[in-house]
Amino acid sequence: MKKKVFSLLLAGMLTFSMGTTAYATEDAIADMQAQKQQAEAGLAQTQANIDSLQSKKQELENYLSDLNTQYEDLTNAISELSIQAGEKENELKQLHTELKKAKKALNKQYDDMKLRIQYMYENGGTSALETLLSSKDLSEFLNNAESVAKISQYDRTMLEKCENLQNTIKDQETTAEEEKAAIDQLLEERAAKQQEVQNLAASTSDNISSYVSQISASQEEAAALTAEINNADNSIAQLVQQAEEEKAAREAAQAQAEAEAAAAQEQDAEESSDDYEEDTDSYEEDSSDSQDSSETEGSEDTSEDSGDSDDEDTYEENDADFYEGDSDSNESEDTSDSQASSDISSGQGKYLGNFTLTAYCNCAQCCGTAGNLTASGTVPTAGRTVAMAGVPFGTQLLINGNVYTVEDLGTPYGHVDIYCDSHSEALSFGLQSAEVYQLN
């Protein structure tokens, strides 16, 4: 009896200590999952920042490409305008030369006319009118008049021609100067625009370099968060395995303690049986001695001994009936317990064990990408869909009075991941455990 009590106490102590360890492991899993979820949230935010920076960087690269195209166009335009300005410069030089020649011819014509007039007045000693009046006859008068008229007409024509040429050259020179001024103005505008584009391109390149640095830093942060998530996954997997091992050890210790208690109970029963046999043997020896003494003393004593022998037989039969009744009672209790256990198992389905429970949703943080179907191809539904490996798709599980269907993967056997509609519900679910039954 003492051994049985000691075994039960030992089983209780082992169960309590292992239960405390199990709670510590579950707390560690919950903390690690919280760290993982925090890292996943940070990773999602960092990835969003990277996408935004990439978009802005792409916009700046497109803008820089446009600026480079404008710069090339302006460079070509400046080159063409420079050629035109050079041509106009040469044209102006040519016009300056021609204008000088025209002025020189005009001055020469003017000087020649003055010399002829001077000659007519100095050498002739008479005026043109006197020359005409000194003619001998009409024919000479007409000839002299015609000569004077021709000379005057020639001089007048030459003067007009030189003046017209000079005016034409001046007009061309003015036009060329205006065109050159316009070309120079365009050159200045194009050069200013080119400088502006060059400055914009330089600032845009600096901005792109800044975005590249920010993207690189964000990518490093994302890599660190990804590594943290992977480490958390590994730690969670190890902790889940540890929890399962602790659970198995707890069940094994409990089973061992129950077996030891049963063995102690059986040993107590054997010891009680041995004590009874010893008492019976002692009683038989005493009866035998009494019978021998009765035979010596007389028939009355023999009669009394015979009565005593009958009493002994009656005592043995009563004791045998008592132990047989006790054995039948124990067997009846065992049968009743077995029948009750069978009724519970058949009513709730096949008992699988005490499993770890977590929750997930169909977001990018839980599944990598949002809006996916389950591994079995169904649409995940809250209150129905769970994930667990090791059983076929479509297996129905009874958990805490609710019936779920295995439609997804992602967790090992013994770890049920329950689908929720939102990430907040999955976070608030935390880490739990429950008895799990298979219905089909």
pTM, 2 dp = 0.40
In order of 81, 90, 196, the CA distances from 182 in angstroms are: 10, 16, 21
Right CATH number for 348-438 from 3.40.309.10, 2.40.40.10, 3.40.50.10470, 3.50.30.30? 2.40.40.10
**Rounded to an integer, what distance in angstroms lies between the CA atom of residue 102 and that of residue 168?**
10
What are the C-alpha distances in Å from 7 to residues 126, 209, 387?
A: 172, 74, 40
Per residue in 269-299, pLDDT (tens digit) is 777 666 555 655 554 555 455 445 444 443 4
Which residues, at least 6 apart from 144, have a Cβ–Cβ distance to it below 8 Å? Answer: 131, 132, 135
Give residue limits of the domains in the chain. Answer: 89-207, 348-438
Point out the least confidently predicted range of 12-16, 104-108, 374-378, 398-402: 12-16
Higher pLDDT, 343 or 22: 22
Query: CB-side exposure of 267: number of CA atoms within 13 Å?
Result: 12
Given this model, what pLDDT does residue 5 score? Answer: 46
Which pLDDT tens digit goes with each residue over 182-216?
A: 888 988 988 898 899 999 999 999 999 998 999 99
Report the range out of 17-21, 90-94, 103-107 with the highest average pLDDT: 90-94
DSSP element (H, E) containing 387: strand 385-387
